[in-house]
Structure 1
Amino acid sequence: MSAPLLPQQPGSDTNHRSHKQEIPSVFSEFDLYLFGQGKHFRLYEKMGAHLRVVDGVEGVNFALWAPHARSISVIGDFNDWNRSANLMHLRHQDLGVWECFIPGLKTGSLYKFALYSRTNNYAADKIDPFAFSCELRPHTASIITDIHQHEWQDADWLERRPKLQELNAPMSVYEVHLGSWRHVPERHQPGAVEEDRFMTYRELAPALTDYVKKLGFTHVELLPITEFPFDGSWGYQVTGYYAPTSRFGTPEDFQYFVDYLHQAGIGVLLDWVPSHFPKDGHALSYFDGTHLYEHPDSRKGEHKEWGSYVFDYGRSEVRNFLIASALFWLREYHIDGLRVDAVASMLYLDYLRDPGQWIPNIHGGREHLEAVTFLQQLNEAVYAEVPGTVTIAEESSAWPLVTRPTYVGGLGFTHKWNMGWMHDMLEYMKFDPIHRRYNHHNITFSMMYAYSENYVLPLSHDEVVHIKGSMIRKMPGDLWQKFANLRAFYGYMWGHPGKKLLFMGGEFGQWSEWNFAQSLDWHLLAPPSDPHHSQLLDFISELNRIYHDEPALSALDTDPAGFSWIDPHDSDNSVISFQRLSPNHDDTLIFITNFTPVPRHGYRLGVPETGIYHELLNSDHERYGGSGLLNGADITSDPIPWQSCNHSIVLTLAPLSTTILKRRPGSSGKQAPAPETVEQA
C-alpha cells in the first residue's frame, strides 16, 4: 500500500517523551518474561488501550506488540488522525513492545495505530489487536472502552456451573446466529417502507431466554460474535479477538445478554476461531510490515480456499495472544465454554492442500506439531484458570484422544462434535424408507466408536446451507411423512449417547435453508400456517424435558455401561431398539425407532426386567402431529425370552416413530439375567 507521510521523529524512548519525567511502563519484568514464554494469560490487561492515572492525571495508556516497526503513533478522533501528534515509544526492544500515555482521553474515543516498518517501506493504519470494542462495519476504528461497568448478577449460576457442566450432566444446545434469529421491523419515517433490523443484545436477552427456556435447552451456542467485517462470513473471519461485535450493541450490552441468560439458568457457549483470520489490511495481516501473526510461508500460513491466513502457532507471542483471548471471554464475559472452530484444519498441514502445496513437519509427517502444542496449552490453561468451563472441538477427522487429558497425549478438549454420526444419519434419513433396510449400518455403526471420545451430536448450521436443504426438506415422503421422519430422527438422536446440538429453525421445521441475512420464518408458527410446525416445537420441548429429568440419558453418557442394544439387527423392518441405563436400574429407558412408514402390529421386543411398562413418549402422538397409533397405559411383560432378554413385551410400532418406554417402579422384583446363549451385539 502507499505509505502516508512518515513522522520526522523516530519512536525512541530516550529521545522523545510525552512528559519531562518518563512515564513508567505498565509491564513488569515478570510480565515481559511471561509474554515471551507465551504464558501471560492476562495479557489483555496490559496490551491495548486502558484508562490510567499517572501523577494524578487521567488518561489512556496504549501498548502494542510490533517488533519490526520503525515508528508508531496513536491516531484518532482526539488528534484529528494526526500521525505526528502522539508517538509511541519502544519500551521493550527485545520483545518489540511499544507504549505511550495520552492524558485527557476518555472512553468512546476512536483510535488506530499508524505503523511504519523498519524492514521495508510498508506503512499502514491498523486497529488494536486487543481492542475491547470496534466501530460498526464498514468503519474499522477501535474504540476506547471500559469493560468493567456491568454489575453481574449471575453468582448463583457460576457457583452451580461446574456441576451443571460435568460429563454426566445433560447438555442440550440451541445453536444461534444472533444476526438472523429474529429481526425487528422498523420504519424510519411515517409511511416509509418497513425494514428489518438486527435485534440488540438487550432485546435478544429476554426474547431468546424465554424461547430457549420454554423449549428446555440447557445452553445456547453463539456463532462467532467476536468482531468481524463481513456479514457473509457468519463471524468466522475474525478481526477483533477481544471485542464483541458492535452490530448488536456495546460490550456492556453483551455482558447484560450473558448475565440475563445465566440468571434464567441457561449456559452460553461461544464459537471461537483460532484456526485462521482474514486478510483485511486494517487488521492482523502483515501487521508490522512482516508476517507477524501468520506463518511467513504461504504453504503453512495461508488457506487459499478460504482466502485467509493461518496463525503461526510456533511463535510463543502468537500462542499467547490466542490463549489470552480464550480466557478473556471466559473471565470477562462469563462465557461457559468455547466451541473451537475448524480444529481439523489446524491439526493437518495438508488440510485442503494439494501435493506440493504444504510443508511436512520435522519428522516428514502431515501433523501440524506446533498447532497440537497450542491446542494442548489452550486446554490446560482453560481448565487451570477458569475451572468449570468447557471446550468443544469441531474436529472432523479420526485424530485420536481429542477429549483425553494432555498428560496421556490427548488434546485436552471436554467434548468433540461427532461428525461421523451426523453424516451417516443424515445420509440415512434422506433415503426413501424402502431403501433403508440396505443401509441399516448407518444407524448402528456409531456405537462402534461412541465411547472413544466425549461426543456432542451436532445438527449444526453447516448442514442447512449451500443447497443442502433444511432439516425438514432432507426428509423423504409427503408432508405428513416428512414431519414424522424428522420426529422419529430427533427421538432417536435424543436417545443416542452424546450431548445434543440443534441449529435454530430445525426445532420447528423451517422449510427454507438458513440465510444469514434474514430472520427465521417465524410466521410458520402462527395461524393459519400448518400446525405441524408448532407440533414439532412441542415435541422438541418434551424431548428436552425427558432428557433433563431422566438420569439414564446422562448419568453414564460417556460410559459404555450406560448403553445396551436390544436389537440392532432388524434391518428387514428398519427397526432398532436399545436401552439407556443409569446406576439405578429402575431408571432404565427403552428406545424403539421404526424408520419405515409401515405400522408394526404385534412386534415382540425383549425387555431387561419383568414388570409393567408404559410409554414415556411416542412421536406418533396426535399432539405432535402423528396418527395416534399408541400402546396405551400399561404393557405387561411375558416370560418369553426374546432377543437379548429373558422377558419380552408385545408392541404396536407406529409408522416413522420413536417410542420411549419405562418400567413402572415396583412392578417387578430383581432384574432378570440375560440368557448366556444369546449373543450380544
Structure 2
Amino acid sequence: MLSTIPGPEDLFLFHEGSLYHSYRVLGAQVMKQGDVRGVRFAVWAPHALEVRVIGDFNGWDGTEYSMRKISTSGVWSLFVPGIDEGGLYKYEIVTRYGEVIRKADPYAFQSELKPGTASRIAALEGYQWHDDDWQHSKSAKPAYNRPMNIYEVHMGTWKKKPDGEYYTYRELADELVDYVVDMGYTHIELLPLAEHPYDRSWGYQATGYYSVTSRFGTPKDFMYFVDRCHQAGIAVILDWVPGHFVKDAHGLRQFDGEPLYEYNDPRLAEKPEWGTLSFDFSKPEVISFLISNALFWMDMYHIDGLRVDAVASLLYLNFGKPELHWTKNEHGGDENTDAINFIKKLNQTVFAHYPDALMMAEDSTDWPQVTAPVHDGGLGFNYKWNMGWMNDMLRYMETDPYFRSGSHNLLTFSFMYAFSENYVLPLSHDEVVHGKKSLLNKMPGDYWRKFANLRVLYGYMMNHPGKKLLFMGGEFGQFDEWKDLEDLDWEILEYDSHRSMHQYVRDLNRLYLQEKSLWELDHQPEGFAWIDPHDSGQSIVTFMRKSADPDDFLVILCNFTPQTFNTYRIGVPFAGVYQECFNSDLPAYGGSGLINRGKLKTEAFSWHSQPFSLQIVVPPLATIVLRPVQIGRKASSTKKTRGDRVDA
C-alpha cells in the first residue's frame, strides 16, 4: 500500500486545538499521490492498538489495509489507490483491550442511507455556485439594520409526497423556496441536517457532523438548495448541536474503545435529559473538530449562519442533571469553563472568517452579554433567542382574556430588557410538540377567539423589537401539534379560517418588510417608545416603533380582550393626520371588520403624556397599526395647517 500523510504543521495545529479546517486533513480525501488517484484516509484514535480501513472496495476485510500511526497523539493515515467517490467504508479499530469495533468516519462528507451506518466517500469540490450577488449583498449592510423574519423548517415533515416519501433537496429547492418567498420570509432556519440515525431526534442527536443527511439527497443536492435560496434572496441558517452527541455504536461514543470525544468522567459526559454524551471541551482535538465543523458548513455549503442549540447545557456543568451527579469547576462553581472558552473561541474564529455570519444562541439562562463581543467580556454571539419573551407571552396568551389583567406584567416585562442583547423572538418547534399543543390550540376560547387570539399574538410579535422566528405550520394555524413523522396538515387550507390565517400572516410579513421602523433600529432603545403600557384593566398596550428618520414611525395598539372599544383615546407625539395601515380584525383575516376608515385627525388634547391624541375604534382581540400621513415636513400642502409638525 502507498501512504501519504497530513503534514507536521497540520498535526501540530490539530493537537493544539487550532486546526480550523481539519476537515481538509482528516477523513476520506479524494486525491492524487503523484500520478495515482485514490483516497487518503486519516483518523484520530489515540487509544487504538491498530486501525484498519474496511469497505466495499476490499470486501470489508481490512487485513491488508492497516493504517500507520503518524503522530504521538494518535492520528492514523493510509492512502488507498484506485478507489474513488461513492464507495462505502468504516474504520476497524482494535482497542487496547483487544476488542475489534467498527466506526463510521467522524469527518465523513456523506453517509449511507439509514438504516445503514457506513460512511461514503465523497468529494465536495466542483459545484458551480450562482450566488455571487447574494454574497456581495450581505456585506453591504449589517443584519442588525435589516429585516429578519425566519421560517423554521424540518425538511422531513414540511411536506411529503402522496406515497409518504421525502421531497429531495432539489425538489424542496423549488417548492419550499418559492413558498417562503411568497409568504414574505427573509430567512429559512433548518433543523439539524447532520447525519442522524433516528428520525424522531429531528437531527439533534448526530452521528455524522460533516455529513449532510442522505435522507433527502447528496451533498451537491443540498448545495443546490442553498444556492437556490440565495438566488431568491433568502438566507439559510442551520441548527448546530455542539452540546452533545448520540450513543449509537457506530458513532463517536468511545470511538477508539475508550472515552475520546466525550469526557472521561461519566458525571461530566452523560446528558441524562437527552440520553446523550457531552463533548469534552478540554481536549484540543475536540475543539479543532467542532470549530472546523462550524466553518465547514459556511465554507462548503455557503450557510449564512448557525443557531447554536442548548447553550445553557454548555454554560453549566450540571444543567439538567440530578443532584447526585453534580460536579464543580476548579473554582468551586457550576460554570463549565472549558465550554465557555470554546464558545468564545468559536465565535471569534467564525467572525474572523465570515464577518457577516449569523451566530445565534438558543440560551434559556440569564447569562449576561451573550451577544457582546469577546473582547468586551461577552460570549461573542451576535444574536440570542429571547426565551423569556416566548415563555411569558405563551403563559399570557393561554390565560383566559377575562383574567389577563392580573398578568399584565407578562405582556410588558420584556421591554425592560429588550435592548440588553440582540434578540430573536422565537415561536419554535419546541413549543408545539410532545403534548404542548399547537400555537392555535394553546389559545383559549371558542373557535373564533382561538384564531383572533393567535392573530393578536402574531401582530404583537411582529411589532415588538427583535427579529422574528415562526415554526412551519404556525402560519396557517395548524390545529394539531407538530407530528414529527407526518407532514403538515396542508389540507386544512380548504377551510376559511385557516386560509384567512394564512393570508393574515402573509400580509403581516409584508407589512414588516415594508416598514423600516419595525427593524432598522431593532436593537437600539431609540427604535421604540411606550405610549401606554399601563392599561392593565383593559389589557391594552400602545407603543411606537421608529426608524432612523424622525418622521418615520408607527403607532401600534394591541387589545388582548374580546371587548370592543368604540371611542378609545391614544396619545400621539405630533399633530396631523394618521391612517390605519394594518388591522388584524379585517374580514379577510377572519375578523369582525371593525376598522378605522379614512383620515384620523389629531386633537390638541394631551393624553398618555403626549401633546396630542386620537380617538379610534379598537376591535376585539386585535392588533392595529397607524401611520402618520401628514405631519411637519411630510405635509402635502405648503400652507401651514393644523397638520404641521409641533415639537413638544
Mapped pair 1:480 → 2:448: yes
Unaligned 5+ segments in structure 1 are 1-17, 186-194, 674-681
Give the aligned partner of residue 558 of structure 1.
523
Q: Identify the residue that residue 117 of structure 2 maps to in structure 1.
A: 140
CA contact (8 A) 1:495 1:580 kept: yes
Matches within 5 A, 1:439-454: 439-454=407-422
Between the aligned partners of 1:151 and 1:671, the Cα distance in structure 2 is 57
> 1:594 and 2:559 equivalent?
yes
CA displacement 1:591-631 (0-9 Å, x = unmatched): 10011111111100000111100011000011111111000
Name whichever of 412-421 and 535-544 sits farther off: 535-544
Match of 2:85 in 1: 107
- Aligned-partner residue type, residue 373 of structure 2: P
Asked if the contact 2:390–2:427 (Cα under 8 Å) also holds between the matched residues in 1, the reply is: yes
Contact 1:395–1:416 (8 Å) recurs in 2: yes
Task: Indicate the residue corresponding to 2:57 in structure 1.
Answer: 78
Give TM-score, length-normalised by structure 1. Answer: 0.93
1:164 offset after TM fit, Å?
A: 5.7
CA distance in 1, matches of 2:505, 2:646: 32
- 2:359 pairs, out of 391, 401, 425, with 391
Give me the whole-angstrom Cα distance separating, in 2, the residues matched to 1:442 and 1:431: 11
Check whether the contact 2:54–2:60 (CA below 8 A) recurs between aligned residues: yes
Counterpart-to-counterpart distance in 2, 1:436 and 1:405: 39
When the two chains are superposed, the root-mean-square deviation of aligned CA atoms in Å is 1.0
1:167 matched to 2:144? The reply is yes
Alpha-carbon contact 2:229-2:236 (below 8 Å) kept: yes
> In the alignment, is the contact (CA less than 8 A) between 1:631 and 1:651 conserved in 2?
yes
CA deviation vs aligned residue, 1:480-518 (integer Å, no higher than 9, x gap): 111111111100100100100000000000111101100
- Which position in structure 1 is the counterpart of 2:323? 355
Contact 1:132 1:145 in 2 (8 A): yes
SS in 1 for 2:461: helix
Residue segments in structure 2 that go unaligned for 5+ positions in a row: 636-642
Equivalent in the alignment of 1:254: 222
Aligned match of 2:544 in 573, 579, 585?
A: 579
Instruction: Determine the structure 2 residue equivalent to 1:191.
Output: none
1:57 and 2:36 correspond: yes
Q: Distance in 2 between matches of 1:58 and 1:28?
A: 19
Aligned partners of 2:18 and 2:506: how far apart in 1?
44
What secondary structure does 1:523 align onto? helix
Instruction: Tell whether 2:260 aligns with 1:292.
Output: yes
1:333-389 deviation line (CA, Å, top 9, x unaligned): 000000000000110111112223121001100011000000000000110012211
Tell me how far 1:431 sits from its aligned partner.
Answer: 1.0
Task: Give the equivalent residue in structure 2 for 1:37.
Answer: 16
Give the conservation status (yes or no) of the 8 Å contact 1:130–1:241: yes
Does the 8 A contact of 1:165 with 1:171 survive in 2?
A: no
Q: Which residue of 2 is the match for residue 13 of structure 1?
A: none
**In structure 2, what is the equivalent of residue 636 of structure 1?**
601
Aligned equivalent of 2:190: 222
Tell me the distance in 1 between the aligned counterparts of 2:39 and 2:446.
Answer: 64
State the alpha-carbon separation in 2 of the partners of residues 135 and 95 from structure 1: 29
Q: Is the 8 A contact 2:370 2:421 kept in 1?
A: yes
Q: Report whether the alignment pairs 1:311 with 2:279.
A: yes
Measured against aligned partners, the alpha-carbon deviations of 1:646-679 in whole angstroms (never above 9, x if no partner) come to 0000000000000001100424333532xxxxxx
Amino acid at match of 2:11: L
Measure the CA separation in 1 of the matches of 2:282 and 2:140: 35
- Which residue number in structure 1 is paired with residue 27 of structure 2? 48
**Whole-Å Cα distance in 1 between the matches of residues 300 and 43 of structure 2?**
21
CA distance in 1, matches of 2:544, 2:277: 47
* Secondary structure of 1:515's aligned partner: coil
Query: C-alpha separation between the residues in 1 aligned to 2:400 and 2:647?
Result: 39
Where 2:267 maps in the other structure, the secondary structure is helix
Q: CA deviation at 1:34?
A: 1.3
Compared with structure 1, are the counterparts of its residues 175 and 41 closer, same or farther at alpha carbon in structure 2 (3 Å cutoff)? same
1:510 to 454, 468, 478: 478
The equivalences for 1:515-664 within 5 A come to 515-526=483-494, 529=495, 531-664=496-629
Q: What SS does the aligned partner of 1:525 have?
A: helix
Shift of residue 32, structure 1, vs aligned partner? 1.6
Aligned to 1:67: 46
Q: Which residue of 2 aligns with 1:460?
A: 428
Question: Does structure 1 conserve the Cα–Cα contact (< 8 Å) formed by 2:422 and 2:466?
Answer: yes
SS of corresponding position for 2:165? strand
Tell me, yes or no, if the aligned pair for 1:165 and 1:389 is still in contact at 8 Å. Answer: no
Give the counterpart of 1:278 among 232, 236, 246.
246
Q: Aligned with 1:197: secondary structure? A: coil
**Secondary structure at 2:255 match in 1:** coil
Q: 1:578 to 1:352 in 2, by over 3 A?
A: same
In structure 1, the residue corresponding to 2:556 is in which secondary structure? strand
Matches of 2:146 and 2:401 in 1, distance apart?
34
Q: Partners in 2 of 1:431 and 1:642 — Cα distance?
A: 30
Distance across 1 between alignment mates of 2:32 and 2:322:
55
* Inter-partner Cα distance in structure 1 for 2:73 and 2:138: 39
3-state DSSP of counterpart to 1:131? coil
Report the secondary structure of 1:69's partner residue: coil
8 Å contact kept, 1:162–1:389: no
Shift of 1:305: 2.3
Q: Which amino acid aligns with 1:72?
A: V
Counterpart-to-counterpart distance in 1, 2:138 and 2:161: 33
Letter in 1 for 2:572: V
Rounded to whole Å, the distance in 1 between the matches of 2:10 and 2:26 is: 11
Show the counterpart of 1:150. Answer: 127
Q: SS state of the match for residue 440, structure 1?
A: helix
Supply the AA of the counterpart residue of 2:77.
E
Note if contact 1:610-1:672 (Cα within 8 Å) is conserved in structure 2.
no
Deviations along 1:245-302, whole A, 9 cap, x unmatched?
A: 0000000110011111110000100000000001111010001111110001111111
> Which residue of the partner structure matches residue 242 of structure 1?
210
The whole-number CA distance in structure 1 between the counterparts of 2:492 and 2:446 is 18
Q: Do the aligned partners of 2:555 and 2:627 also contact (CA within 8 Å) in 1?
A: yes
Aligned partner of residue 60 in structure 2, secondary structure: coil
| Cα distance between partner residues in 2 of 1:171 and 1:611 | 31
Measured at CA, do residues 78 and 163 of structure 1 come closer, stay the same or move farther in structure 2, by a change above 3 Å?
same
Secondary structure class of the residue paired with 1:167: helix
SS in 2 for 1:585: coil
- How many Å apart are 1:407 and its aligned residue? 0.8
Shift of 1:85: 2.4
> Is 2:637 aligned against 1:672?
no
Q: Give the match's secondary structure for 2:107.
A: coil
Which segment drifts farther, 162-171 or 657-666? 162-171
Q: CA contact under 8 A between 1:331 and 1:386: conserved in structure 2?
A: no
Separation in structure 2 between the aligned mates of residue 387 and residue 451 of structure 1, nearest angstrom: 22
The match for 1:14 is none
Q: Distance in 2 between matches of 1:444 and 1:403?
A: 22
Q: What's the offset of the Cα at 1:435?
A: 0.3
Partners of 1:378 and 1:413 lie apart in 2 by 9
Q: Under a length normalisation based on structure 2, what TM-score does the superposition of the two structures give?
A: 0.97
